[in-house]
Amino acid sequence: MKIKSADFVMSNSNVINCPKDHLPEYAFIGRSNVGKSSLINMLTQRKGLAKTSGRPGKTQLINHFRINDNWFLVDLPGYGYARVSKKDKKTFQKYITDYFIERQQLVCAFVLIDIRHEPQKVDLEFLEWMGENQIPFCMIFTKADKLKPKAIENHVNEYINQLLEGVWEEAPKYFVTSSTNGMGQEELLGYIDELNTNFFKEVR
Ligand code: GTP
Ligand code: MG
């Protein structure tokens, strides 16, 4: 899919105030600093579209970007950020969980995981929460440029095996990406294109 336009629409902290358009929507979620905003910029090839930072906690609101005038990418704040209180760390920020539960237009959420690390408790808990609440999602391994091909394969396999040893009967669909070298861009845009086609078939 070719990206012809990518425009920032609005930021807000309540799903009720999100755009009313009935267009297919894809949201990026994951730990702070995992690379959600960078991936939006990589996919759209617009460097400064979503604000990024080397310090966690950069994205603070629900940010809508309209792509090719007929679908949305949504940049969300991260979870698991060390500076939030212990109480908040346990659960996920309410406006984020409300977004996932209530946003009818959400076609697929992308849960980002840093490919370099062992499975982290907070990510496993979030994946479980998505499953329990029947939110459609895929996993995206980020920062693959930091590992050699063999290590990429090993880390992904270890992650998937750990999910299968835990509560998951079937591995979620996943992509391997790098915002630095563009790995995964075509696959991810191709998948979104497919889902968009189905979305518009169903509403017609
Ligand atoms: P919050 O908004 O704070 O939740 O973070 P985020 O998940 O949006 O992360 P962001 O895109 O701001 O990136 C965090 C840091 O990771 C930045 O320093 C990015 O340059 C870096 N980064 C993101 N993606 C990649 C990647 O694919 N490869 C490498 N090497 N660095 C990356
Ligand atoms: Mg961000």
Parse the chain into domains and list their residue ranges. 1-144
> Pocket of ligand 1, candidates 11, 31, 33: which has the most ligand atoms within 8 Å of its Cβ, to mutate?
33
pLDDT of residue 82: 57
- Ligand 1 pocket member 47 (CB < 6 A): no
**Radius of gyration from C-alpha coordinates of the chain:** 16
**Mean pLDDT in the chain?**
93
Please tell me whether residue 178 adopts helix, strand or coil conformation: coil
Q: How far apart are CA 110 and CA 191, in angstroms?
A: 12
Main-chain phi, psi angles of 44, to 5 degrees:
-90, -5
Separation between Cα atoms, residue 69 and residue 83, nearest integer Å: 37
- Name the residue with the closest Cα to ligand 1, atom 24: 35
Average pLDDT over residues 110-132: 95
Mean pLDDT over 86-102 rounds to: 77
pLDDT, tens digit, for every residue of 64-91?
A: 999 999 999 999 999 986 555 555 554 5
Tell me, what's the pLDDT at 134? 96
Residue nearest to atom 22 of ligand 1 (CA): 35
Question: Edge-to-edge, what's the strand order for the sheet holding 106-114?
Answer: 6-12, 62-67, 71-75, 25-30, 106-114, 137-142, 174-176
CATH number of 1-144: 3.40.50.300
